[in-house]
Amino acid sequence: MNCARFLHQGAFGFLLVLVGICDGRLEAASLNLSWTDRSDNENGFAIERMAPGGILAQIATVGANITAYTDANLPSGLNYCYIVRSFNVAGISDASNVVCGVANDASGGITPNGNGDAENDSSGSVTNLSSDGLDSSSTRGAVLTGDNVMIAGFIISGDSPKTMLIRARGPTLADLGVPDVLRDPFLRIFSGQTVIAQNDNWRDTQEQAVVATGLDPCQPFDVGGSTPKECSRESAVLLTLNPGAYTAIVSGVAGETGIGLVEIYEVDNTSSRLVNMSTRGRVGTNDNVMIEGFIIEGSAARTFVLRARGPSLADFGVNGVLQDPVLQLYSGQTVIARNNDWQTADLLCGTGSSSCGLASQIVNLGLSLCQPFSTGGPTPTGCSRESAILITLNPGAYTAIVSGAGGASGVALVELFTVD
């Protein structure tokens, strides 16, 4: 058995090893997890899972000395991430490191290699996020109420704690010409279903520590420029997190709505990395489209699949979904790739140095948007209208924009997968 081992020293003297997605095969939209039990005083293990755009939540527990779990009946084609915690009568341990995998029906499996990446047994292609990180990621969109607040899931991979700065901006976006901004954002950070940090106005809690990062919300947008207006009402949280999956939720104080921005920055230089951020929110028109920015580190080009889902979210009970998402990828001010319906090639993708991959290649990577969400189930609602781009990008900063065909609006999910 060739499985990646992710070590983490937990509480109560536990040493957890989350091996994850071992033994090669993903069948019937299931993921197989296994880990090594090196403790002698646990009562059991708790398994937690996060789907794209969701919150990390406990899905199962197993008894003492049990070292495997199969997560069955998963919607296929989505990337899932897992952690394991030990527990006994004294409490629960810290989380193991995170492992991720894409649930496929029966078209080959994935096996983590020694670097923590996942390899497809049949084609040799990686179908989930690698251990190489993103330097930072941000998403701008409409912040509404109820289920339509902004929800950003992010994952830290590695074997050591990572210091992160998470910001929620609203009022200062007006200085950049954004209309209808969220005037008083409120930021909460979740581990599983537990709020581990929250902030309304950043200067009320960690002012000096945030200023010391050089990333406080009152920094001028231009060198020598003026302090952004109402910057003290922005939210920020500086915290050190163990590797794992977390969720940032941005809402408006007293139910206020408007355009907001959630940002995640790495502050220190440990070996652990920010490897993913997927965001669910409402897509409007004009300045109210969903905008996700990301930065690729290093010196080598990397291959990505970006997806914009809308109609198929209705199969999960999401109301008011975006019926026909359009995905555009920018480098600076230039559109370098575009897709409306993922099975139909766009002429823009055949020009310049940013040629897009084919729909058949996306299928071979296990990332088809039309894979059934359950074994033997129906094709996801409206999946042919969802968007995807397979592309190789040089290191740098990029922006993905999700809008609705014909100016439509609704709830959508933007996802980013590293596939090399």
Q: How far apart are CA 266 and CA 228, in angstroms?
A: 23
Contact 264, 153 (CB under 8 A): no
DSSP string, 102-152: E--SSS--EEE-TTS-EEETTT----S--SPPEEEEEEEEEE-SGGGSEEE
Instruction: Dump pLDDT digits (tens) for 162-221.
Output: 889 999 999 999 988 888 999 999 999 998 889 999 999 999 999 999 988 888 999 887
Number of H helices, E strands in the chain: 2, 27
Tell me: the pLDDT tens digits for 140-155?
Answer: 778 888 878 888 888 8
Q: Quick one: which H or E segment has residue 32?
A: strand 31-37
Distance CA 289, CA 327 (A): 11
State how far the alpha carbon of 42 is from the alpha carbons of 10, 11, 291, 317, 374, in Å: 11, 11, 45, 37, 34
Backbone angles phi, psi at 264, to 5 degrees: -130, 125
**Domains of the chain (ranges, CATH numbers):** 6-120 (2.60.40.10), 129-283 (2.60.120.380), 289-420 (no CATH)
pLDDT at 121 over 70: no
Burial (0-12, 13-18, 19+ Cβ within 10 Å), 59: middle
In 3D, which of 240, 302, 305 has the Cα closest to residue 272?
Answer: 240
Confidence of residue 116 (pLDDT cuts 50, 70, 90): very low
Residue 124: band (very low, low, confident or very high) from pLDDT cuts 50, 70, 90 = very low
